[in-house]
A = this chain, B = another copy of it.
Amino acid sequence: MSSGKHFGKGSSKPALPDDGVPRLYSMRFCPYAQRAHLALLAKQVPHHSVYINLTEKPEWLVDVSPLLKVPALQLVAEKGEPSLIESLIIVEYLDEKYPQCPLLPKDPLQRAQDKILVERFSAATAAFYKTLVSDGDINDFWKVADIFESELAKRGTPYFGGSKPGFVDYMIWPWFERLAVLKFAVKERYSFDVKRFAKLNAWIELLLQDKVVKSFFVKPEDHVEFFSTRQAGNANYDLLA
């Protein structure tokens, strides 16, 4: 992994070893990019991380991520060094390409059900974002969380993936890691109801101890600090560098 320093406009393209391992173009505080990091780390796929200043993007970004998006996974060992985009497509690619530590179940029905669950979480990511930047209602986030609380009860396992974290766990985790940002944004209107979310609360505690989550963890106060600086128009990308 890189030092966590973000490359911006005017920067030189990072000199990476010619080792053929995938390069993940990312932003340290982006929850979608975090999905790709978690999958790479869970599956122990060697990779390089290159962090991008999304406010002032480096001129060379177009060469490695033609749509200027992050996350982008550049496959330098493949012909033409193509880049993959879209966090879920990147993660499914990694799960198919690197069979070790599978994230999605093998059974087609269970795979589809896990994908549907993550798709349903997009209502939560939308509510999260709206609550932060406009007049979104935080209850819309909790309503989606209800679905996940019920699902944990239905599955009867500590993780959505069973006895260990899997696709659903890692794909929704980034927003739970950022609950402090939600709290910071809505102040006294925030309330995480531990009775309503008893199972999710236990799940959060377990994931906070998960070695994959820990290896890419950002502390609540740092998430809040990044959010505050971004809201103020001077995002402190290098907060952790």
Question: Contact residues of A with B, CB < 8 Å?
Answer: 75, 78, 82, 84-86, 89-90, 92-93, 96-97, 108-109, 111-113, 115-116, 119
- Distance of A204 from chain B, by nearest CB (Å): 26
Copies of the polypeptide in the assembly: 2
Please name 25 pairs of A and B residues whose Cβ atoms are closer than 8 Å in the assembled complex, sorted by A: A75-B109, A78-B109, A82-B109, A82-B113, A84-B109, A84-B112, A84-B113, A84-B116, A85-B116, A86-B116, A86-B119, A89-B112, A89-B116, A89-B119, A90-B112, A92-B111, A92-B112, A92-B115, A93-B108, A93-B109, A93-B111, A93-B112, A96-B108, A96-B111, A97-B108
Interface of A is mostly: helix
- Distance of A156 from chain B, by nearest CB (Å): 14
Residues of chain B contacted by A113 (CB below 8 angstroms): 82, 84
Distance in angstroms between the alpha carbons of A50 and B86 in the assembled complex: 33
Residues of chain B contacted by A109 (CB below 8 angstroms): 75, 78, 82, 84, 93, 97
Q: Report the nearest B residue to A85, measured CB to CB.
A: B116
Distance in angstroms between the alpha carbons of A90 and B115 in the assembled complex: 10
- Distance of A240 from chain B, by nearest CB (Å): 29
Residues of chain B contacted by A97 (CB below 8 angstroms): 108-109
